[in-house]
A = this chain, B = another copy of it.
Amino acid sequence: MSSRETDVHASEDAAPWQELASLVENGETSGLQQFVGELPASELALTMSRLTAEQQSAVVTALEPIDAASLVEQLPHAQALELIERLEPETAAAILEELPSNEQADLIGEMDDVDAEAILRRMDPSDAESARALSHYEDDVAGGMMVTEFLRYSDQWTVTQVVDDLRQRADEYRDYDVQYAYACDAEGRLTGVLRLRDLLLARPAQRIADLMIRQPVSVRDSTTLDELADLFERHHYLGVPVVDSEGRLVGVVREAAVAEAWSERQDNDYLKSQGIVGGEELRSMPLLRRSSRRLAWLSVNIVLNIIAASVIAVFQDTLSSVIALAVFLPIISDMSGCSGNQAVAVSMRELSLGLIRPHEVWRVWCQEVVLGIVNGLALGLLVAAVAFAWKGNLYLGLVVGLALCLNTIVAVSIGGLIPLVLKQLKVDPAVASGPLLTTITDMCGFFLILGIATLLLSRLAG
């Protein structure tokens, strides 16, 4: 750790992006090539993001396409997309051709159509065709995650034919990931999977149809991320073949691609739950884009907040008689939000682990309400003691304690249910759970504390 710290401080003298910028300005292509090649992966995204748009374009244009592609692959998706869109179509096409087919398709799919067409027209026709086909798939189905670089042989071939092909096209295959070959019939339908290890142990004249695993596990191109995650949890495959509606082999989904897509989804859910809803935000994006995306969510929230707070306005008379209550309004609001968010988080997680189903509202309610009673009593007693100690009025303690206790029960039960109900309504629970929860618990909490206070007003104002 300490050596890393030192590095960081040393780099403040001559930051890598300054070095890179000066290499670009001076047109030192070979120095640039070497510099980028030697920069640790963990520094690359940072370094590129500190350059101006023009400098970034100059860097990738100066690199060999294969090196530029390797750089682009290591950037966060939003950063890579912006970079590629700004390049000359020729340069962009040359770089895209060096990317794995699924990343090609991801980038092409998110560009505007004119940019995408300009690039596709300049790519190798077969690469372009495959990128076009892949870019129509959603990101979270097998078709959107698969690669089209895999070994495919006719099931009529012999071991010798396959080994000869492997030998002849060794260069092309060097970067192929999955260590299986797939066997197809004359119509291109998947008929078997061949482990390279089994080739090693076979007689040269043997037909691969006799060697392969028949009726192999495969998935449709429309298989969802959830289903793929289940599959890879169940079986230790490195990848599975993907077939279209006719059973024709169209690609291979790797286990690692599924794990990455899963982690991306979690990442997005976290951002959404914290109010970054409109998509990825990088601080290198233009101010107004960042600001308006955040505001879009905040302005919905403030309207909900004003609605909730209007409950307080109704009880103005009570409040002016017992001004001490005003101190406890934000406490009730914050604490109920916290308790409710814990229940939301547990429900979100149990949903994603498949431990509850969206319709099991009653079951979750029962499990949360008992916990709400226990925690509500604990928190209520604590805040009641504080109120009593402050004002010496037992009834004030009773009002705030009772209100917090009851509202905690409301918050955890509602918090537990909201993700289930939103899921049933096909609304994204990561976005909507938080605002919905706090609006309900605020209204209910203000109503409880001020309503109970109104009932006991003679004891409080005394």
A344, B274: Cβ atoms closer than 8 Å: yes
The stretch of A20-28, A85-93, A184-192, A262-270 in contact with B is A262-270
| Contact among B266, B302, B350, B367 for A263, CB-based, below 8 A | B266
| Contact among B267, B333, B341, B354 for A349, CB-based, below 8 A | B267
Give Cα A305 to B327, complex, Å: 10
Closest B-chain residue to A255, C-beta based?
B256
Given known contacts A163-B200, A276-B345, A350-B282, A294 and B331 CB-to-CB distance under 8 angstroms: no
Closest B-chain residue to A378, C-beta based?
B295
Q: What chain B residues lie within 8 Å of A386 (beta carbons)? A: 306
Interface string of A212-235 (1 = CB under 8 A from B): 000000000000001100111110
Q: Which of A367-416 contact B (CB under 8 A)?
A: 367, 370-371, 374-375, 378-379, 382-383, 386, 390
Q: Which of A270-298 contact B (CB under 8 A)?
A: 270-271, 273-276, 281-284, 287-288, 290-291, 294-295, 297-298
The stretch of A123-131, A138-146, A311-319, A452-460 in contact with B is A311-319
Given known contacts A283-B364, A354-B43, A354-B46, A382 and B256 CB-to-CB distance under 8 angstroms: no
Q: Nearest Cβ in chain B — how far from A451, in angstroms?
A: 15
Closest B-chain residue to A231, C-beta based?
B41
Given known contacts A259-B256, A291-B374, A327 and B310 CB-to-CB distance under 8 angstroms: yes
A371, B305: Cβ atoms closer than 8 Å: no
B345, A270: Cβ atoms closer than 8 Å: yes
A440 at the interface (CB under 8 A from B): no
A106 at the interface (CB under 8 A from B): no
| Contact among B196, B333, B375, B390 for A196, CB-based, below 8 A | B196
Q: What chain B residues lie within 8 Å of A350 (beta carbons)? A: 282-283
Q: Which of A43, A271, A281, A338 has the most CB of B within 10 A?
A: A338
Q: What chain B residues lie within 8 Å of A49 (beta carbons)? A: 355
Give Cα A45 to B227, complex, Å: 14
Residue numbers of A with Cβ under 8 A of B are 8, 40-43, 45-46, 49, 70, 73-74, 76, 100, 163, 166-167, 170, 173, 175, 177, 179, 196-197, 199-201, 226-227, 230-234, 236, 238, 255-256, 259-260, 262-263, 266-267, 269-271, 273-276, 281-284, 287-288, 290-291, 294-295, 297-299, 301-302, 305-306, 308-310, 312-313, 316, 319-320, 323-324, 326-331, 333-335, 337-339, 341-342, 344-346, 348-350, 353-357, 359, 364, 367, 370-371, 374-375, 378-379, 382-383, 386, 390, 438, 442, 446
Q: Within the oligomer, what is the number of copies of this chain?
A: 2
Chain A to chain B contacts (Cβ below 8 Å), 27 pairs: A41-B230, A45-B354, A46-B354, A166-B200, A170-B201, A179-B238, A196-B196, A196-B200, A259-B262, A273-B273, A273-B274, A274-B345, A275-B345, A283-B355, A283-B356, A283-B367, A287-B370, A294-B375, A301-B335, A302-B335, A302-B379, A305-B335, A306-B383, A309-B331, A312-B326, A329-B330, A330-B333
Given known contacts A177-B238, A345-B271, A383 and B302 CB-to-CB distance under 8 angstroms: yes
What 3 A-B pairs come out closest when comparing CB atoms?
Answer: A259-B259, A274-B345, A263-B263
Q: Nearest Cβ in chain B — how far from A254, in angstroms?
A: 8
A346, B74: Cβ atoms closer than 8 Å: no
Give Cα A367 to B281, complex, Å: 12
Given known contacts A46-B356, A76-B355, A305-B335, A330 and B275 CB-to-CB distance under 8 angstroms: no
B354, A201: Cβ atoms closer than 8 Å: no
